[in-house]
Amino acid sequence: MKSMLVIQHVEHEGLGIIDDLLVKRGLKPDFVKTFRKDSVPKTIDGYSALIVMGGPMGVYEADIYPFISDEIFLIKDGLRKNIPMLGICLGAQLIVKALGSDVYKGKKKEIGWYKISLTNDGKMDELFNGLPDEFTVFQWHGDTFDIPDGCRCLASSDLFPNQIIKAGKNVYSLQFHLEVTGDMVKEWIDVNDEELKSVKDYIDAGKILKEAPAFIKRLNEHGEVIFNRFLNLIDK
């Protein structure tokens, strides 16, 4: 199996539970850490898959974060070459943008524990088949996107209708976070204190922490199933 490439935008938004799954498979990914000024490759050649993680920047902020344009260029190369790709939060938005759709601010932010519902396409998809029709995930985003031409929506939430987008046979965009651990949830709340203050009228950080023990175990169980199924695509 060739190497896997992971693009990480901020230090605290790492692979989470995905890291342990890669270790169990004997996989050691190559990282591009944009927060350390690593350069984004111009081609996906030499890699068997691409995972693009989250971050606080917007896809529409390429003038502030030039690596955004570089990542979209790389993702387009992966799409042409039919490489399995997984985008999480910002990563999902970058994939959708590379597919030709718009990314823009939503009406309000979705931060904390929210239910998503699988669509009929989602219930039949090989990554999500057999999972509950509705389950709780961890969200941290304010942006959203339209469904690109030729793609399918696999899940929705009450606030944001496009939660999972699938392109072709092996490209998935997840607006939410299945990878987080309990410690990561705590760290994100600490690191993003200023953002949480700006939405305190409708998002309660204390409640998010209090609810974490009730949701994190099942979240990680679903995450292991979904991420392992994605990794299985690499050898197909």
pLDDT in tens, 52-87: 999 999 999 999 999 999 999 999 999 999 999 999
Please check whether residue 109 is in contact with residue 143, taking contact to mean a CB–CB distance below 8 angstroms: no
Please check whether residue 143 is in contact with residue 159, taking contact to mean a CB–CB distance below 8 angstroms: no
Closest C-alpha to 57, from 47, 49, 67: 67
CB burial of 205-215 (b: ≥16 within 10 Å; e: otherwise) equals beebeebbeeb
Closest C-alpha to 90, from 65, 107, 108, 126: 65
Instruction: Supply the mean pLDDT for the chain.
Output: 96
Give the pLDDT score at 1: 52
Percentages helix, strand, coil for the chain (3-state, rounded to 5) are: 35, 25, 35
Q: Where in the sequence numbering do the catalytic residues fall?
A: 89, 177, 179
Residue 223 structural domain: 3-235
pTM of the predicted protein model: 0.97
Please check whether residue 141 is in contact with residue 157, taking contact to mean a CB–CB distance below 8 angstroms: no
pLDDT under 50: residue ranges of the chain:
none
User: Domain holding 23: CATH number?
Assistant: 3.40.50.880
Burial of residue 4 (number of CB atoms within 10 Å: 0-12, 13-18, 19+): buried
Token pair 């399918």: residue: 152
Beta bridge partner(s), residue 87: 52, 173
Task: Provide the number of structural domains found in the chain.
Answer: 1
